[in-house]
Structure 1
Amino acid sequence: MNDNETANGVPRRRFVALSGALGAGALLAGSAGGASAASGPVPAGPASCPCPCPTDPNPPGGGRSPCPPAHLQALCGSPADNDSLWHDVRYCTQGIAPPPPQQKPDCLKVTSNYVVLHGKPVSPHNFLLLPSCRITGIECPFIVTNEAANYWDAAWENARSGGSVPVQFPNIGLGVNSKGARQLNQLHIHMAGVRASTQRRLQELEATGRVAIQPSQWGDPQYQAAVTGTLGSGDRTYRVLRLNSLDQNLFALLNRYVVVRFGLDMADQTVVVVPKTTPAGGFAGSFYVLNSDASLHDGTSTCDHLLVYT
């Protein structure tokens, strides 16, 4: 699914100030709910809830509350917004049918923190993971806080072999587009494939010391490299980091070690996660985390150059 967006941007300084100012006292009360698979919509919570109401004190991915506080609706979206992906989420979590002519989605998995849907075009390796409450996209300052759910880890746990919605492709890729490169305005992580050549290129970069192994190194010139993606897309330059797990908030790492460090705008960033594989094709126990934007020579603001959807 390609992405292009129309909502207003958030200046970087305002984004950083807001995200730094958000504390536990300013966030929604209550803890996030636990994961439970479902194939259709779940009952709606009380009318006073701006998003599905939590019931379980142990949410997936370590997040404590999946919803931005009400005062961030101008930056992160309002539950009353008219966005087709948001309508899909509301149907899956609250049973509210989308307005015609939009059709009801297939709710592949529903939890109190997120839902998983088919991507478009529909294929066995094109899925989307979306927050269960209103978050427009990567520009929302709430997602860099400790209160946000860990959507990246949840995406991997669903997409991996043996996961609830496994991506049926030899190499898996997860990705988020920038604000300006998306079409729909509900945060969504693409769960798709990547070409074998992309996997080989990343392992070659690691073997030659071209991959950062500490988040604080993310963006250093020696860890910026060209990676060829899908056929015909050419090389794009990415900042490449390796992590042993996805237990950290990747949005927070990006904001701290790339966006703030280089004076960039969070809204302009794209992120792609490629799990490292063994020669036999299994998971090698670490992840390549790629970031790019238009400030890089031959940079890109979309994950679509690397991900394979069809």
Structure 2
Amino acid sequence: MRLALWAFISIAFAATSTGCATLAAADSNALWRIVDGQCVMSMQSSGTPGFCTRVDLQGRYAILKDINGTSQYLLIPTDRVSGIESPQILDKDAPPYWSDAWEARTYVEKAVKQPLRDEQLGLEINSTYRRSQSQLHIHIDCMRNDVIDALARHHSDTPGKWRWEVIDGNRYRIMRVTSLAAADDPFRVVARGLPKDAVMASQTILVTGAGPSAASDGWLIVNSSLDLDNGSGSAEPLMDHACRLARKS
């Protein structure tokens, strides 16, 4: 029974990788089954997170190690939330998923055995059409060195203003913010700035530090869309799941 559970979890973890050839055949409810059916139940019954790294029942989220990469973790709501297209993420009482994901950086740093500068850490969510799972999950991992360099020019952007950038041939709009909560929550920032014919389901969002210290430099919200010419439905390729920057430090 335990071997069968491990096999199920391995398949589920693999399903979170957008580059995996098995995505089409993946169980789209795998992450939800792990979090709700195993991690939450374990936390409620024994006070331990089970196969998750952390379960915060009050905060309504779990942290799960992804099988893809050495340092990639996922923040997953313990509520049933389908993804970026869900109106629940814009509710006035929605949990601060991005702030919680940013705080979960400690697990990435433990995995790479060193602290990361804030511009070296990335959080990302894929569009509805570039994911395999029907439960919202935010990827937490290292950024690519060349993407850090490309975004450095936005270090001193006026907060609250969109700027455009082409990275890897895809167009992204970038905004510097001074918080990840309340009005600056990335879901809210992207949603209120969408053209009338655009929808949240087509959006991808990446968040990283605007400089070495987000406390003073702020954060960058990086957004693209399948509705956009030369846009993208996944900003995950801007991250580095091998965390090569840690090996160079």
Shorter-chain TM range is: 0.7 to 0.9
Q: 1:153 aligns with which of 90, 99, 116?
A: 99
Q: 1:224 aligns with which of 154, 164, 175?
A: 164
Determine if contact 2:152/2:211 at 8 Å carries over to the other structure: no
Aligned-partner SS, 2:92 = coil
Residues 198-232 of structure 1, C-alpha deviations (whole Å, 9 max, x = no match): 1221122445xxx5621xx43xxxx12112xxxxx
Partner of 1:108: 53
Determine if contact 2:155/2:211 at 8 Å carries over to the other structure: no
Determine if contact 2:17/2:68 at 8 Å carries over to the other structure: no
**What pairs up with 1:23-42 in 2 under 5 angstroms?**
none
Partner of 2:13: none
Partner of 2:150: 201
Partner of 1:144: 90
Determine if contact 1:176/1:188 at 8 Å carries over to the other structure: yes
Name the CA distance, whole Å, in 2 between partners of 1:192 and 1:298: 25
**Structure 2 CA distance for partners of 1:297 and 1:182, relative to 1, 3 Å:** same
Structure with higher Rg: it is 1
Name the CA distance, whole Å, in 2 between partners of 1:212 and 1:263: 27
Q: Name stretches of at least 5 consecutive residues in structure 1 with no aligned partner.
A: 7-80, 97-103, 228-233
Partner of 2:246: none
Partner of 2:17: 2
**What pairs up with 1:1-310 in 2 under 5 angstroms?**
1-3=16-18, 83-90=29-36, 91-95=38-42, 106-112=51-57, 113-123=60-70, 125-159=71-105, 163=106, 165-167=107-109, 168=112, 171-206=120-155, 211=157, 213-214=159-160, 217-218=161-162, 223-227=163-167, 234-248=168-182, 249-258=185-194, 261-278=195-212, 283=214, 284-310=216-242
Query: How far is 1:106 from its partner?
Result: 2.6
Determine if contact 1:225/1:239 at 8 Å carries over to the other structure: yes
Name the CA distance, whole Å, in 2 between partners of 1:226 and 1:293: 13
**Structure 2 CA distance for partners of 1:290 and 1:238, relative to 1, 3 Å:** same
**Structure 2 CA distance for partners of 1:290 and 1:212, relative to 1, 3 Å:** farther
Q: Name stretches of at least 5 consecutive residues in structure 2 with no aligned partner.
A: 1-15, 44-48, 243-249
Query: How far is 1:272 from its partner?
Result: 0.2
Determine if contact 2:159/2:178 at 8 Å carries over to the other structure: no
- Root-mean-square deviation (Å): 2.5
Question: What TM-score, normalized to structure 1?
Answer: 0.60
Question: What TM-score, normalized to structure 2?
Answer: 0.74
Determine if contact 1:5/1:181 at 8 Å carries over to the other structure: no
Residues 237-269 of structure 1, C-alpha deviations (whole Å, 9 max, x = no match): 1010001111233212211112xx342011010
Name the CA distance, whole Å, in 2 between partners of 1:276 and 1:206: 5
Query: How far is 1:197 from its partner?
Result: 1.9
Name the CA distance, whole Å, in 2 between partners of 1:82 and 1:250: 25
